[in-house]
Amino acid sequence: MATFASTSYDTLARRRIDLHDVLLTMLGLSIAVEIAFGGRLFAFELAALVLLPALALRYRRLGAVPAAFVALGLLWLDGQVMTDIVRGTAAGDFTRGWSKIAMTVSNFVVLQMLIGRDRRRMLLFAAALAVGLVARHWLSPTAYGIADPWKFGYGWGLTLGGVVAGAALSARMGGMTGVAVILCLGTLNMIEGFRSLAGVCFVTAVYLCARHVRLNYSPGKRRRPIVTGGILIVAAFAFVQAYTAAAQRGVLGADARDKATLQADGPLGLPMSGRPEFRVSLGAALDSPLLGHGSWARDTKYVDQLRALGLHVSPAVAAEGLIPTHSHIMGAWVEAGALGLPFWLWVLAVSLIALARGLDAEGAVVVLGVFLAVALVWDVPFSPFGAERRIIVPFTIIVLLELCRGQSVRSHT
């Protein structure tokens, strides 16, 4: 009887693992399908909403889900709701604003319950997500994607897939194999004009090299943040200098040369000239620091400020008069007010802690985690939040929380 019970339990456990793998694969691939429903909604998110109650009943509790992400996400949502009520935001705008935050929290809970702390599943979902992101460009390309298919289409997905492949190779053939793959990905992104992602790849490669030589120098726990910060700053500075020199010499083409020359000589310098919206959005946030301007906030005054700097205004911003933010954290502050800040400050803290702890960790998932962490450190201040980021950010935090636990992953993938 005991043998039968044990066998039955093992069989059910294997089935459960297989089911989770299938669900994660299908969810990752489903990001390729967009549904027109008052904005950009992915099949992934509809599937997650269907799975959420079933998974909650299966686990009967949400104790396995990190509370900070959910609590701070709901605080952000509270700020957005209060702001929109006070500002009298139009229904079409506040519906998109509220759903953006709610979907982010929902996606995190579902992915956390499916992935848990299983590092193999993290890599599996990342691979499926990469395929889905590439397929999305072919199934429903955006106007930007048609104009620049690498940067706004399949470039991010192919890079993520390459990182997963590099992580797997590093586990089998040694850590420097992954570094070589990521350097190749960075070079490809630089050639294609995707500067920010090229920089992320370069900084990731430098960090992984530093982690590889930690056997000869292992900083104490108190010095890890200093060492990690120094690595990131030096690597980022080196990339900016190398890119500027290569672009201005015409190595990367005429367009890259003209853009680099203009921005390097511009009023904000490089790289801030590449993200001029940050300066304008900071002014908008300080104009109303506690209560935000509302979902999809519009005020042509701030668009005019961007023009006054002699900088380009995107067609979407110009057409709708949207307050230019181009930033995860500034977008939350401008739209939802001060209650939108704690969530993104916590996300930044998790990213930096994960990078500090990653110096002593090993395993394929560390390569993936470092890439995602460096990307998030850039995206929080300098990239707009929405669309596929509602899925990528929750998944990134799941991987980074595993690194934050500070346990060596020498014996795991």
| Identity of the residue numbered 227 | V
What pLDDT, in 10s, does the model give residues 212-233? 776 445 555 666 667 777 877 8
The CB density around residue 338, as the number of other CB atoms within 10 Å, is: 16
- Give the residue-averaged pLDDT of 28-40: 84
Q: Distance (Å, rounded) from C-alpha 207 to C-alpha 210?
A: 5
Structural contact between residues 286 and 260, judged by C-beta atoms closer than 8 angstroms: no
pLDDT the model gives residue 406: 61
Domain assignment present for 230: yes
Q: How confident is the model at residue 316 (pLDDT cuts 50, 70, 90)?
A: low
Domain assignment present for 170: yes
Task: For the full predicted model, state whether its pTM sits above 0.75.
Answer: yes
| Identity of the residue numbered 29 | L
Min mean pLDDT across 36-40, 78-82, 317-321 is at 36-40
The CB density around residue 71, as the number of other CB atoms within 10 Å, is: 14
Question: What is the three-class DSSP state of 192?
Answer: coil
Min mean pLDDT across 7-21, 36-50, 61-75, 120-134 is at 7-21
pLDDT the model gives residue 13: 45
pLDDT at 82 over 90: yes
pLDDT at 244 over 80: no
Domain assignment present for 2: no
Min mean pLDDT across 132-141, 242-251, 296-305 is at 242-251
Domain assignment present for 1: no
pLDDT the model gives residue 57: 78
**Rg of the Cα atoms in the chain:** 22
pLDDT the model gives residue 3: 42
Domain assignment present for 4: no
What pLDDT, in 10s, does the model give residues 148-180? 999 999 999 999 999 999 999 988 877 688 899
Structural domain for 242, as ranges:
11-404
Domain assignment present for 239: yes
Domain assignment present for 412: no
Name the helix (H) or strand (E) containing 28: helix 2-30
Domain assignment present for 102: yes
Q: Residue 146 to residues 33, 84, 290: CA-CA distances in angstroms?
A: 17, 34, 39
Q: Distance (Å, rounded) from C-alpha 172 to C-alpha 170?
A: 5
Could you give the number of structural domains in the chain? 1
Q: Residue 291 to residues 76, 98, 244, 305, 397: CA-CA distances in angstroms?
A: 12, 16, 39, 21, 27
What pLDDT, in 10s, does the model give residues 85-143? 999 999 989 999 999 999 999 999 999 999 988 999 999 999 999 999 999 998 888 88
